[in-house]
Chain A
Amino acid sequence: MSGSRPGEPAGSAGPGDAAAAAGVTGISVTNPDLPGPGATSPGGTRIGRPAGRLRHAEHVMGTVFSFDVPASAAPALPEVLSWLHWVDATFSTYSGGSDVSRFGRGELTLAECAPELAEVIAECAVLNEQSDGYFTAWPGGRFDPSGLVKGWSIERASNMLSVAAKTGPSGTGPSGTGPSGTGHSVNGAGDMQCTGEPERGRPWRVGVAHPLHPSALAVIVAGRDFAVATSGTAERGAHIVNPHTGLPATELASVTVVGPRISTADAYATAAFAMGGAAREWAESLDGYAVFAVAPDGATWQTSGFAAYTAPA
């Protein structure tokens, strides 16, 4: 990520006004049934929430990104959202005209694509090696870096908010002695990057959805400046394929990876899920990342580093 350019105006490296064409929505919690611009301002009334915090849910990439940020970060949100829509337009495998699709068909060279694509491909190669090939940007032989793009974009969005917090006019954080923390979280479809604290003196608490009991939590993790990613079949079925066999992975119900960076944690979770039972030994060898898994029969296991993240229910 050293070559990343957080804070860059959305779409400047992409084709035309892709972000605008993708339909950037306004800052508000919009009704999920009603895509389209929201009508309310970020400073709207909140119930019981510590003063100075804002939540926003954005429909993008076929899912929803949830933001929990200090109000001081609100001015930076529109740019972050625009950038996410630009990523969607550029990296979409559903749109035949995206850079990724055209590159996959050989219509564009890598040099002709947005430079972010080369960055993503390079990171995919590293993760492929670290995961013994279980994480790949070529599932089924077809170019599809989607397995990294979401986590990568969550991380970039979080970095953009962090930069804005340090350089923005209101970057000094909430005034006074209120309980609001200055940290933020970006949750993309269940994978998230958290920074700092949501309230002063309190770490983030993230519930891990139980893959076998839709309304229950399997475990709660807590921390500051950390990422949580979960892969599983609960939402979209057996959609993760073991690249070494070509068959859908079914040996685990879900895998959760906790560590510093969401792009890495997300890819590790995908790889571990594809490995199945063999993931346990591999997971223990990971440097800086801890893993928790639930088997289809409900049995769970975790790596030795995971206890540092578990929080009392």
Chain B
Amino acid sequence: MRRVVLALGGTVAGLVMLLSFRSHTASTASAGVTAGSGGTGTSPGASSAAGSGSSAASGAGAASAPVSAGSGTGTAVTGDAIATPYGPTQVQVTLNAGKIVKVTVLQHTDDGVNSQMIDGHALPLLNNLTAQSAKIDAVSGASYTSAGYIKSLQSALDKASA
């Protein structure tokens, strides 16, 4: 169960990182990002579980209150609100059949132009990406390093299905 929570937390963190990387290439906003999560109906006690165990000692282990929106369309998982140089951001990811089917921004950045860049450009891209990734099993692309893997769509697929 702990692994599921970590996977989801990692995915949320990854999505937030993706936002940061896409819109602000020189930004270090992602460096301190943490994202905890709880899943509807799947992980009671997830918050406490996330803090224990050896493999839980990651940078993405901060626990947060579970937020449920699991209707017929999937299970929603909400990340912590995180501080970025452009204001606080919080995203919610909807999972269906182990795949990310939707990304919703619960709390937008409030930094004018930068905020508009993120909200108007990166987020639609992200949702487009997740719509596509919902139908694929794997990704082929130029060879990535271990570091590159972390940002890869393959990494997101591995985590979402693990």
Q: Distance in Å from the Cβ of A252 to the closest Cβ of chain B?
A: 11
Cβ of B91 within 8 Å of any chain A Cβ, yes or no, is no
Q: Please, how many angstroms separate the alpha-carbon atoms of A33 and B155 in the complex? A: 12
**CA–CA, A215 and B151, complex, Å:** 10
A63 touches B140 (CB 8 A): no
Q: A46-B98, A63-B149 are in contact. Are A33 and B59 (CB under 8 A)?
A: yes
Across the interface, B158 reaches (CB within 8 A) one of A39, A55, A216, namely: A55
B154 touches A185 (CB 8 A): no
A38 to B162, CA, bound (A): 13
Q: Are B138 and A47 in contact (CB under 8 A)?
A: no
The one of B142, B144, B148 in contact with A231, judged by C-beta atoms closer than 8 angstroms, is B142
Q: Is the CB of B139 within 8 A of A33?
A: no
Counting CB contacts under 8 A, is B104 at the interface? Answer: no
Q: Which residue of B lies closest to A150 (CB)?
A: B143
Q: What is the chain B residue whose CB lies nearest that of A208?
A: B140
In the assembly, what is the distance between CA of A220 and CA of B140, in Å? 9
User: What per-residue 1/0 map shows which CB atoms of B127-162 lie under 8 Å from chain A?
Assistant: 011001101111111111110111011110111111
Binary flags per residue of A164-195, CB closer than 8 Å to B gives 1, else 0: 00000000000000000000010101111010
B129→A215 contact, CB < 8 A:
yes
Bound-complex Cα distance A229 to B140 (A): 6
Also in contact, A28 and B158, with CB within 8 A (given A207-B138, A235-B144): no
Cα distance, A214 to B2, chains bound together (Å): 31
Interface residues on B, range: 35 or more
Contacting residues, chain B, for A142 (C-beta < 8 A) = none
- The answer to the question of B3 belonging to the interface, with a C-beta cut-off of 8 Å to chain A, is yes
User: How far apart are the CA atoms of A63 and B146 in the complex, in Å?
Assistant: 4
> Assuming A44-B4, A45-B4, A215-B22, is B155 touching A209 (CB within 8 A)?
no
Contact between B3 and A59, CB atoms less than 8 A apart:
no
A234 within 8 A of B: yes
Q: Mark A16-33, 1 if CB is under 8 A from B, else 0.
A: 000000000000111111
Chain B: residues with CB nearer than 8 A to chain A? Answer: 1-4, 6-7, 10, 18, 22, 39, 42, 53-55, 57-60, 75, 95-99, 125-126, 128-129, 132-133, 135-146, 148-150, 152-155, 157-162
What would be 15 A-B contacts, judged by CB atoms less than 8 Å apart?
A31-B6, A46-B161, A47-B75, A57-B162, A64-B154, A68-B137, A189-B144, A190-B143, A192-B138, A204-B138, A206-B138, A206-B140, A207-B133, A217-B139, A220-B136
What 6 pairs across the A-B complex have the smallest Cβ distances? A209-B141, A48-B98, A232-B142, A29-B162, A48-B97, A64-B149
Q: Which residues of A contact B (CB under 8 A)?
A: 28-34, 38-40, 44-49, 53, 55-57, 59, 62-64, 66, 68, 150, 185, 187, 189-192, 194, 198, 204-209, 211, 214-217, 220-221, 228-236, 254, 256, 313
